[in-house]
Chain A
Amino acid sequence: MAMRMEYMTTKKDELVGWIRKFSLFPYPFVTACCGMEFMAVSSTLYDTDRFGAALPRFTPRQADLLMVVGTVSHKEAPILKRVYEQMCEPKWVMAFGACATSGGFYRNYAVVQGIDKIIPVDIYVPGCPPRPETVIDAIMMLQDKISRERHPIFPFEAQQPVKA
């Protein structure tokens, strides 16, 4: 008699996390030279499609991973904030490179000292610019974080925690 798998048992939280972590649609918010490294990461050599995170959506409404790639100035901060607010839940934010993480070596009147002053950040990628391996490591760490998220059904408010 042939073995047939007709059902499997798992936890709902794990199932939801597993589905979510392999369908990351990044929105690249590219402002500076880190964008060159972002192109390298998204090329075939490093193949982020292995993690389900290869297809950039160039509208924030279809994306769930906001990659802030490069320096963000004070003049640009309202744009970043609006892009973040346009994204649907669930959403995650990656600060790509030293400038997005902390302002980098720009300590002056123009540059925001880290995008976490404006929007919540889930994962920080160091480097100026980061190596592609660092970015892939960050994606994997973010996937771990996503798969560890809990999704209680009740109360409803706790299902969609407000992160801001």
Chain B
Amino acid sequence: MLYDDLTRELRGLYDRSWDSFGMLVLELRAENLFGLVSRLRDEFGFSLFLDVTAIDYPQRAARFDIVYHFYSRTHNRRIRLKIQVPEERPTVASLARLYGSARFMEREVHEMYGIEFTGNEDLRPILLYEGFVGHPLRKDYPMEMEQPIVTYRK
């Protein structure tokens, strides 16, 4: 069983593991991410980078969860990785060197949550526009706030 092999082989690289509706979830620290994902890709066939996103917990000490999903085409299994990062230093290693598609998705997480991906040089806004202040998917971004490009009439 792939998940048993994973939890056994990767012990030490992650802190906690559990089952989420049949999918393996690993919680790990930011410094272990690159090494763990390299092994996932090269040894276990997780060749597809599905998604990276973040979750904002404003009341928690480590404010953000960064969530990764990978898919193994050889085993037909998915895996989820979770990393907690604090607001003062929301930094994690970029996976752009392992998966080319990570480049765009990290840009989106960067503009929406303000997460820094070290190693990704091109973190320009991808959905937002130049000059946009703040990170709109953070919980403390004011819901009514508008940043129009075109000046309004009247």
B149 with A74: CB separation less than 8 A: yes
Q: Is B21 an interface residue (CB 8 A)?
A: no
User: How many of chain B's residues have a CB under 8 angstroms from any CB in A?
Assistant: 15
Does chain B have a CB within 8 A of A81? yes
Partner of A117, one of B127, B128, B153: B153
A111: nearest chain-B partner, CB-CB: B146
- 1/0 per residue B24-61: CB within 8 Å of A? 00000000000000000000000000000000000000
B3 to chain A, nearest CB (A): 38
Chain A, interface SS category: loop
B129 touches A117 (CB 8 A): no
Report whether B146 and A74 are in contact in the complex, using a CB–CB cutoff of 8 Å: yes
Asked whether A113 and B150 contact (CB < 8 A) given A74-B129, A75-B128, A75-B129, the answer is: no
Chain B 127-138, CB-CB to A under 8 Å as 1, else 0, gives 111000000100
Residues of B within 8 A of A78 (CB): 149-150
Binding site secondary structure of chain B: loop
CB within 8 Å of B: which of A106-164?
107-110, 112-113, 116-120, 164
Of the listed residues B129, B146, B153, the one surrounded by the most CB atoms of chain A closer than 10 A to its CB is: B146
B144: chain A residues at CB < 8 Å are: 107
In the complex, A83 has a CB within 8 A of chain B:
no
Does the CB pair A108–B148 fall under 8 Å?
Answer: no
- The answer to whether B146 and A113 touch across the interface, beta carbons within 8 angstroms, is yes
Nearest-CB distance from B142 to chain A (Å)? 9
Tell me, in angstroms, the Cα distance from A68 to B150 when the chains sit together: 17
- B95-128 vs A, Cβ < 8 Å mask (1 yes, 0 no): 0000000000000000000000000000000011
Whether A75 contacts B149 by the Cβ 8 Å rule is yes
B residues near A75, Cβ cutoff 8 Å: 127-129, 149
